[in-house]
Structure 1
């Protein structure tokens, strides 16, 4: 009997030992990353860290979803968790609540109360994230390599973004009233008080508030190869000050600042300790220009500012209407552009050098879509340059555009820097493609009397008519290099014209080009002064005076312009396309411009790239442009160290 009992007992113990409490299995690398980094933002489910914190208190995800408020209260008050665990988990739970309310709000259109509840939940999530980041025992730098801190930063950024967008939409009238007085505002949201200044939403020359705010991180752009941003703290937003780019003919000045500027928003919660932050219902809205501010101090800690450098530029191009307008301008139809515009890609900065971009025939700033974006994406270039896009009517003769663009740039510089003492007013760089390169060449050349003498040699002009011609033509034909420019980059530029302008298609297009009425009257008057009515008209006036004829290799003006000396103060570079690899370099062309016309003696560098005429979009060309811009910075930094001008 005893043996049987012992045997039974032993069997039972062995049976119990066989019920292992822990087993082991392997996970894939994808599952490993999901376990470490998955959370309510990325997967829609709570993170492993928050689930672990709940389990310490005997809670689980399902219970918390069914009894959210009770769960958050227990997490806030019961012992057993560190402050870091508690703050991070509460931030995620409040974010889960805000996302749930956002879903309900979409299903219940017009529910203002639900939208307010949603924003309040986002404020709670941002507040607990803020407390975790700056008021727990360890600081942000001590947790710099931890996944959990990156998650909590994202909770703060996302909730700040959603709260900012929601507050702007809900309280736009109150904010507009504040912007028209001292700019300070105080908003009430449930038991929260939000304070700030409307100046933080402007950051440019536009008066009043933007029409809307958009989330930069949610915008995608076709046609842009890359989107550039900077990791850090804050919501990345775009302010829309108009539905599209300002019409050039409506403005009294020749420039516009960016109509879709980007800015970064932070929410700063009142309090100097963890307890004070958790008790406060006061929060301050802070806005920053990411081009001017790389970091800021929060609760005594310097933190990098999040930023998006592509969204505003991409939105500007997408809503510009440039593509259609540039073609209509060529034939004098629709909302035609009549004079150059200077578009500043960011608020004017007196300390940054200016990079001026000039597009080609029948084109617009869209020609520089990836060039400009890649410059903005290069931290060194972004911190030292500001981009000015020139949009000009490409139907005008070269001499007219040269004069008009010079005047527009000079007026813009004078408006921002009347005394011309800022770094932005010196050592500018011109970047021109195709016809824009020809104009850039004129802008850095000294004409002296070459063009004027060449004109007189072509025509038998009486002394009386010559005097009248001087008043009309000297501003167009006698000029010096712009003193503000010290470097130029010519891309696929027909310095000596191109035979492409003589083919059948080009002749057809030339025939349908229409000049603006104001320019046409000037051209007609000049033609009447040049041509003696008693003699046959010279060959130069047997065809319309316009941009395409100017680009012909048979055009007297472009051939004379090619002989003008470039100022010895200006370093210049050429980038050339080659679409005829089977031909010797000297006989090659890019499909539009022959190498012989694009090549310039004395260039500091020349790069030939296998490409059609739109060579500026090739990655090799963009890398070369960036190299030249860095070289320009290095050269002038050395001059500054040596005390040179």
Structure 2
């Protein structure tokens, strides 16, 4: 009997079936690892970036705008047909409300404008953002806690800066904004702008060359003080020539000034007109020192300002830095930077004169310039309490000239400014002046608050001054440079790294001799001394004429004039403060800052003394700035000594 066992064997499994089973098993395994919906844990920074990405921060739409695109099935199409998608979203806007779509239109329009450098879409972003922020009667505003709320301001602000920008740009990458009446295309119509030319004036000058600060990165200053709010923040230049209308203080506006201003495109009830093809808007311009907020829809709106960026722009490539050393030896170079119609006495204001604000006068040191006060200026103007109560002035001088001569010029400049600003003596704030001097500037500062009598004159002549026969001009020059009494309006002084008893380098005769050979003194000084010597035959004056002193001589610790000045205390009607730099960690009393020893900078009559572990140029250090801030705040709440 034959057994056919093969008839009962299992048939082979088909290959296709095995493949299908393997795939099913793989799917089951995958499903066990990750569900169709779930999460991917991330760190704090990544999570924040995911939730805050936007057209402004990352060059892509925010989740809020992507949500609108996804809801309408337009996500993929926006990448290929952005203009058509934006037109479709615009056409679908409801007569009111529709905040989600409005925001998406604002952000996506700015994104489109950036991708194609299309100013029409930048302006459209501003129109949409304005409509969202100020929807008019019956409109619904975003809640302040909604992240889109602040972003809508930024979209509006950037839309103005980019939409009104010079289409050609410039080789520096700066964005110059055109503020003028005109017609501008929109993707959905036309925008007509108007502006009052009177709004484009400041301190008696016409504003020009408006550069967007949003496109600036500030360097060289520790802090960037920026007030967030509404409008495109700009840094404006001023014309060299003043307007025909006289403005008090216009002669003293500093050279190369950049004015922090803001442009607001007032679109009125734009939300109600979004279905129309034509829009009108008025361009309003506000300066940081004049207006802080405006009213829209009955609510106060803060204005966006960026004063730090304007200051940095002012100092960008400023020739004052490179002229400091050359001006020390040659003199007169700083004055070439000053327009001819400005004050020629060296005293300048950072902003137009404002009644009711106390002047803070900054006096720089040797081979330096007012530009070296930039850090202090930025910090003081960034403090609202100080900004609202003080106005900053700066004195610029040729620092190789004899110190008494420069001090006389400072005093005359201050007296001139007081007369110009307040001829009737009504502004009490001007009578509470604070003068701050660094290094040699501190010696000039001291000469505003001391009574020298005839002591300085007696050092250079044995003949009474009244018996010297010179012409009126030279007599006035000698009087201004050698006879000092306290200026009644200076109520507080601050000395920073000041060589009250001399500078270390100036003690070496080879240093002072070299400076004397290299420095060119003003002819007026030589002429004045020569005429006095010739008319009197005085031996002291003749010796002085053979070797006229420079500022280096005046800072020699052995100089009789400096010793005399050091022996005269600050007027008891004035509060004096010292900020003294000492390098290293050694004993303060034996230390120095590399230029001035502690014992030289110390004065007994100072009501406060702050020692900073730093080098000579400490005026920009945080500790020095905070001490000055403290002093100024104290000054606000302290009555004048003379009235006590």
TM-score (normalised: structure 2): 0.82
- Distance in 1 separating the partners of 2:416 and 2:476: 22
Question: Cα gap change, 1:326/1:99 in structure 2, threshold over 3 Å: closer, same or farther?
Answer: same
Once the two structures are superposed, the pairs formed by residues 227-238 of structure 1 within 5 Å of their partners are: 227-238=224-235
CA shift digits 1:271-327 (9 cap, x unpaired): 2x7314664510111111123322211232212111112122222223431123232
- Distance in 1 separating the partners of 2:49 and 2:43: 10
Question: 1:27 maps to what in 2?
Answer: 42
CA shift digits 1:460-513 (9 cap, x unpaired): 579853687855522322232222221111001112223421223343223211
Question: Cα gap change, 1:420/1:256 in structure 2, threshold over 3 Å: closer, same or farther?
Answer: farther
Q: Which moved more, 1:329-338 or 1:394-403?
A: 329-338
CA shift digits 1:143-167 (9 cap, x unpaired): 2222111221110111112234339
Q: Please state how far the C-alpha of 1:252 moved relative to its aligned partner.
A: 11
Q: Which moved more, 1:611-620 or 1:311-320?
A: 311-320
Q: Please state how far the C-alpha of 1:133 moved relative to its aligned partner.
A: 0.9
Q: Please say if residues 448 and 478 of structure 1, whose CA atoms lie closer than 8 Å, have aligned partners that are also in contact.
A: yes
Question: 1:72 maps to what in 2?
Answer: 86
Q: Which moved more, 1:345-354 or 1:621-630?
A: 345-354
- Distance in 1 separating the partners of 2:637 and 2:377: 20
Larger helix percent: 1
Question: Cα gap change, 1:128/1:240 in structure 2, threshold over 3 Å: closer, same or farther?
Answer: same
Q: Please say if residues 328 and 334 of structure 1, whose CA atoms lie closer than 8 Å, have aligned partners that are also in contact.
A: no
Q: Tell me whether 1:153 sits opposite 2:158 in the alignment.
A: no
Structure 1 runs not aligned, ≥5 long: 1-10, 103-117, 171-178, 244-250
Question: 1:8 maps to what in 2?
Answer: none
Q: Which moved more, 1:384-393 or 1:509-518?
A: 509-518
Question: Cα gap change, 1:332/1:464 in structure 2, threshold over 3 Å: closer, same or farther?
Answer: same
Question: 1:275 maps to what in 2?
Answer: 272
Q: 2:562 aligns with which of 541, 555, 558?
A: 558
Q: Tell me whether 1:241 sits opposite 2:232 in the alignment.
A: no
TM-score (normalised: structure 1): 0.82
Question: 2:68 maps to what in 1?
Answer: 53
Once the two structures are superposed, the pairs formed by residues 591-606 of structure 1 within 5 Å of their partners are: 591-606=594-609
Q: Which moved more, 1:161-170 or 1:274-283?
A: 161-170
Question: 1:415 maps to what in 2?
Answer: 420
Q: Please say if residues 329 and 337 of structure 1, whose CA atoms lie closer than 8 Å, have aligned partners that are also in contact.
A: no
Q: Please state how far the C-alpha of 1:442 moved relative to its aligned partner.
A: 0.3
Q: Please say if residues 168 and 213 of structure 1, whose CA atoms lie closer than 8 Å, have aligned partners that are also in contact.
A: no
Q: 1:88 aligns with which of 103, 111, 119?
A: 103
CA shift digits 1:499-538 (9 cap, x unpaired): 4212233432232111123333234334445653xx5877
How many aligned positions are there? 585
Q: Please say if residues 268 and 298 of structure 1, whose CA atoms lie closer than 8 Å, have aligned partners that are also in contact.
A: no
Q: Please say if residues 119 and 166 of structure 1, whose CA atoms lie closer than 8 Å, have aligned partners that are also in contact.
A: no
Q: Please state how far the C-alpha of 1:454 moved relative to its aligned partner.
A: 4.5
Q: Please state how far the C-alpha of 1:574 moved relative to its aligned partner.
A: 0.3
- Distance in 1 separating the partners of 2:465 and 2:84: 98
Question: Cα gap change, 1:536/1:480 in structure 2, threshold over 3 Å: closer, same or farther?
Answer: closer
Q: Tell me whether 1:451 sits opposite 2:456 in the alignment.
A: yes
Question: 2:359 maps to what in 1?
Answer: 354
Question: 2:181 maps to what in 1?
Answer: 186
Q: Please say if residues 325 and 337 of structure 1, whose CA atoms lie closer than 8 Å, have aligned partners that are also in contact.
A: no
- Distance in 2 separating the partners of 1:235 and 1:55: 32
Q: Please say if residues 254 and 340 of structure 1, whose CA atoms lie closer than 8 Å, have aligned partners that are also in contact.
A: no
Q: Please state how far the C-alpha of 1:575 moved relative to its aligned partner.
A: 0.4
Question: 1:387 maps to what in 2?
Answer: 392
- Distance in 1 separating the partners of 2:169 and 2:373: 34
Question: Cα gap change, 1:222/1:30 in structure 2, threshold over 3 Å: closer, same or farther?
Answer: closer
Once the two structures are superposed, the pairs formed by residues 499-538 of structure 1 within 5 Å of their partners are: 499-503=504-508, 504-529=510-535, 532=538
Q: Please state how far the C-alpha of 1:63 moved relative to its aligned partner.
A: 0.6
Question: 1:200 maps to what in 2?
Answer: 199
Question: 2:620 maps to what in 1?
Answer: 617
Question: Cα gap change, 1:423/1:296 in structure 2, threshold over 3 Å: closer, same or farther?
Answer: farther
Q: 1:317 aligns with which of 309, 315, 318?
A: 315
Q: Please say if residues 258 and 344 of structure 1, whose CA atoms lie closer than 8 Å, have aligned partners that are also in contact.
A: no
CA shift digits 1:352-382 (9 cap, x unpaired): 2211100001110122121111112222222
Structure 2 residue matching 1:224: 3-state secondary structure:
coil
Structure 1 residue matching 2:114: 3-state secondary structure:
helix
Q: Please state how far the C-alpha of 1:168 moved relative to its aligned partner.
A: 12
